[in-house]
Amino acid sequence: MEQAETSLPTLEIEHLSFRYQRREELAIRDISLTVHPGEIVLIAGASGCGKTTLARCINGLNPRSYRGDLQGSIRICGRDIRELKLVEVSQMVGTVLQDPERQILGTKVINEVAFGLENLALPREEVLERVDQAMARLRISDLRGRDTFLLSGGEKQKVAVAGVLAMRPRLLMLDEPLASLDPASARETLDLVRELADEGMAILMIEHRVEDVLSIRPDRILFMDGGEIKYLGPLAGLAGVVDYHAVKLPVAMTMAMAVKDPPPPRISMLPSGQGEKTTLVEFRAVNFGYGDERNVLKDVNLKINRGDVIAVLGANGAGKTTLVKHAIGLLKPSAGDVLVDGKSTHELSIAQVAAMLGYVFQSPSHMLFAPTVRDELSFGPKNLKHPPHEIARDVAEAIRIVHLEGREEDPPLALSFGQQKRVSIASILSMRSRILVMDEPTAGQDYRNFMSFMNAIVQLPNFESILFITHDIDLAVVYANRVLLVNDGRVVRDGSPYEVLQDLDLLVENRLVPTSLLKENLLHYPRTGTFLRAEHLAHAVMLN
């Protein structure tokens, strides 16, 4: 029986369509796909194109948990999914969600990784053996006894992956697994995916970071648009059907296509930050530790000045988010001081700081609570006592910037992860704070969306400074005028993008992987004298 099963395709989808309850339009239509053991299929496409809906159909959540009308057929290892209980599907299809906050239930890491196995009532010895193996493969054995709520976003993502691997599924489905990972951890995760495929596991990977996934040679790329498959085949054929504005491709492919089009207009960043360099936030010998743990921040001295667009880079667990939470007053230093507009955060309430700094959390589930998108975006400015006519204007402007027109009356938590992220960003934009602080702003966003809203944000007249935590080096290359490199709770390098990012050995030491865009910019820097996005770089070097 085992031999007969292994000769079958792991996944067979035929003419699959799905429409959510209370929605008139189909979320996906006429999807057909066959995946064999050992295959890696990369699924790409814009936010809202149907990728997550397809995943929910494959793992049985549609229509069991998300009600709607499903047409067509899905077979897992030859078995019709409609004839299987959800617990049976979960043993065959392992799913890692976009947002690890939605997946982690255990208070301790070891309990979380063991959760699925314990629900299968496996013997304790087997549970512990599988847990140890899964954690070792993810290189997180040192997290075994840690509290899950104290982990960084990237560490939580690794724990979620370990919990799924411990179940030993036949099909592994990864929904944006790299979104919260530092580049080195992303590379390690991709290498693990390649190993699992080589061992015979079938893998579906939904990911916007196409260039990263190409490094492990996916067998096929499935490109979706408007709920339909627009392309299914090898990388070589992708360029003929994909708009390079919509999908982030390797820089050589993008430049070859972009040079044929007119160059996009240059953007003037942070118009309100031009002029005298006034210090807005200052860290003075800041130290901080959670409870009895060792210090997470160590002797941080830092000034955030008017006109700064700062990218904060560093490995998972380096202290980036802890650093930023001090700037917005959510955390207070154990030693030293943080000054916001000249006043110590020890003396300011969080509400007082919020009038100066607006903070977008890494996980949108930490922010969203209102019944509608409009209510969500109105909440902050109402609490800051903005006039009603200004609130209406600013909410409409924020919705336009993040491309959520038509979603004003939707419940935020019913939207896709990428859309929720944009709502969380818009809720801060509507507050009109002087400093915008964003933690992983591009997580869950397709290339067109995040380039569009980043272009708009850096040109807004109300912001005097912008600071964003990111694992995307290209975001620092394109938008930052200053880069902070954080490691082990210290700011180890602070300078212009060129000054910090030209040292490739330093980047590797800090678990950052140089991208093709960075390398191309460094190659041509003596000629251009600045870092450029791929479209501008193509016209600067390929036509001259």
How do residues 213-257 score in pLDDT, each as one tens digit? 988 999 999 999 999 999 999 988 887 888 888 888 889 989 999
Q: What is the pTM of this model?
A: 0.81
Whether residue 506 is predicted with pLDDT greater than 50 in this model: the reply is: yes
| DSSP codes joined into one string, 310-358 | EEEEE-TTSSHHHHHHHHTTSS--SEEEEEETTEEGGGS-HHHHHTTEE
Model confidence pLDDT, tens digit, residues 413-452: 888 777 888 899 899 999 988 899 999 888 777 888 888 8
**Range list of β-strands (E), 403-500:** 435-439, 465-469, 482-487, 490-495
Mean pLDDT, residues 268-297 taken together: 82
Choose among 121, 245, 103: nearest CA to 176.
103
| Structural domains of the chain in order of their starting residue, each with its CATH number | 2-242 (3.40.50.300), 271-501 (3.40.50.300)
Strand partners, 487: 490
Q: How many CB atoms lie within 10 A of CB 207?
A: 21
Rounded Cα–Cα distance for residues 454 and 459 (Å): 9
- Unique residue bearing structure tokens 């929904």: 175
Structure tokens at 52: 């997550």
Residue 361 half-sphere exposure, CB side, CA atoms within 13 Å? 13
Using 50, 70 and 90 to split pLDDT, how confident is the model at 26?
A: very high
Model confidence pLDDT, tens digit, residues 445-477: 788 888 888 888 888 887 899 999 998 899 999
Whether residue 2 is predicted with pLDDT greater than 80 in this model: the reply is: no
Give the pLDDT score at 460.
81
Q: CA 481 → CA 184, 287, 302, 475, 537, distances in Å?
A: 24, 26, 16, 11, 17
Model confidence pLDDT, tens digit, residues 479-492: 999 999 999 999 99
Mean pLDDT, residues 366-386 taken together: 92
Yes or no: say if 338 and 286 are a contact pair by the CB < 8 Å rule: yes
Structure tokens at 500: 């910090």
Choose among 193, 206, 190, 170: nearest CA to 97.
206
Whether residue 5 is predicted with pLDDT greater than 60 in this model: the reply is: no
Give the pLDDT score at 273.
58
Could you tell me where the DSSP H helices lie in 94-182?
109-119, 124-137, 153-165
Whether residue 176 is predicted with pLDDT greater than 90 in this model: the reply is: no
Residue 182 half-sphere exposure, CB side, CA atoms within 13 Å? 24
